[in-house]
């Protein structure tokens, strides 16, 4: 069973309904909390099918990060994923290796330690290696639903990080931002683009990840998200060494 201790933090798989509920509580705080409803649970129909990863501060036991993993045997099962609700993913049905969808990734809003993200990726790396995963994918979210705030980030994604044509997701959701078309001639300000990029997405990109050519407007979670894929074999060798060192 996945377990990883690094510095102040430990990452592990949820072992009980109480563990899953703790993750759902942190997800609610991260995605849904408001002044009128500051606490609750974020749940959906995918939770029972997933493995839930918790990152905790060792001394206090505080849950500081969580995410869930949905393993698939290959592209033929892509329609069972959370992402398939929002993206037309028939191109990925041809992918013939094991896949895993990472979703509902969040870090406690009161915790800013960059080591939390490093431990989370270390845990993910260990899972990928142990399960023989060949593609990692999911939805990478920008806070809010106003695309204007992220135009430099979207322009950078369009310029450097679009999915290969053979895997490119097509539009399915009713409300999308087609930045691949809108920003065809736009040159991004790289500094502003990276400041607007979610940390999880930045991590995907430095490993060779790619994105859809459009963002989905998700008013339920108050986010804009892009489909994000990462072929494990495409990760640069130096980056793989760093990830495996974090997972060791």
How many domains does the chain divide into? Answer: 1
Low-confidence winner among 166-170, 200-204, 240-244 (lowest mean pLDDT) = 240-244
Confidence class of residue 187 from pLDDT cuts 50, 70 and 90?
A: confident
Would you tell me the crossing angle of helices 199-206 and 114-131 to the nearest 10 degrees?
50
State the pTM of this model: 0.94
The domain of 64 spans 3-247
Rg (CA), the chain: 17
Q: Per-residue pLDDT tens for 121-173?
A: 999 999 999 999 999 999 999 999 999 999 999 999 999 999 999 999 999 99
Q: Per-residue pLDDT tens for 209-226?
A: 999 999 999 999 999 999
Contact between residue 56 and residue 62 where contact means Cβ atoms under 8 Å apart: yes
Q: Per-residue pLDDT tens for 54-104?
A: 999 999 999 999 999 999 999 999 999 999 999 999 999 999 999 999 999
47: tokens are 């939770």
d(CA 40, CA 28): 6
The CATH number of whichever domain residue 31 belongs to comes to 3.40.630.30
d(CA 160, CA 195): 16
Q: Per-residue pLDDT tens for 18-32?
A: 999 999 999 999 999
Q: Per-residue pLDDT tens for 100-118?
A: 999 999 999 999 999 999 9
């Amino acid at each position: 069973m996945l377990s990883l201790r690094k510095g102040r933090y430990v990452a592990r798989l949820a072992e009980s309904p109480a563990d899953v509920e703790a993750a759902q509580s942190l997800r609610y705080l991260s995605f849904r909390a408001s002044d009128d409803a500051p606490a609750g649970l974020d749940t959906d129909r995918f939770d029972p099918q997933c493995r839930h990863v918790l990152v905790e501060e060792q001394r206090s036991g505080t849950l500081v990060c969580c995410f869930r993993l949905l393993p698939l045997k290959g592209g033929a099962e892509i329609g069972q994923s959370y992402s398939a609700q929002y993206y037309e993913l028939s191109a990925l049905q041809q992918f013939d290796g094991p896949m895993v969808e990472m979703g509902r990734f969040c870090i406690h809003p009161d915790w800013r330690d960059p080591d939390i993200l490093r431990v989370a990726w270390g845990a993910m790396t260990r899972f990928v290696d142990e399960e023989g995963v060949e593609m990692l994918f999911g939805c990478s979210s920008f806070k809010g639903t106003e695309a204007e705030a992220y135009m430099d980030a979207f322009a950078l994604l369009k310029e450097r990080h679009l999915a290969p044509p053979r895997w490119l997701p097509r539009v399915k959701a009713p409300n999308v931002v087609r930045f691949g078309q809108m920003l065809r001639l736009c040159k991004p300000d790289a500094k502003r683009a990276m400041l607007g990029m979610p940390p999880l997405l930045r991590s995907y990109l430095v490993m060779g990840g790619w994105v859809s050519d459009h963002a989905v407007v998700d008013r339920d979670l108050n986010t804009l998200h892009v489909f994000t894929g990462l072929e494990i074999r495409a990760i640069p060798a130096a980056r793989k060494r760093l990830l495996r060192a974090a997972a060791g």
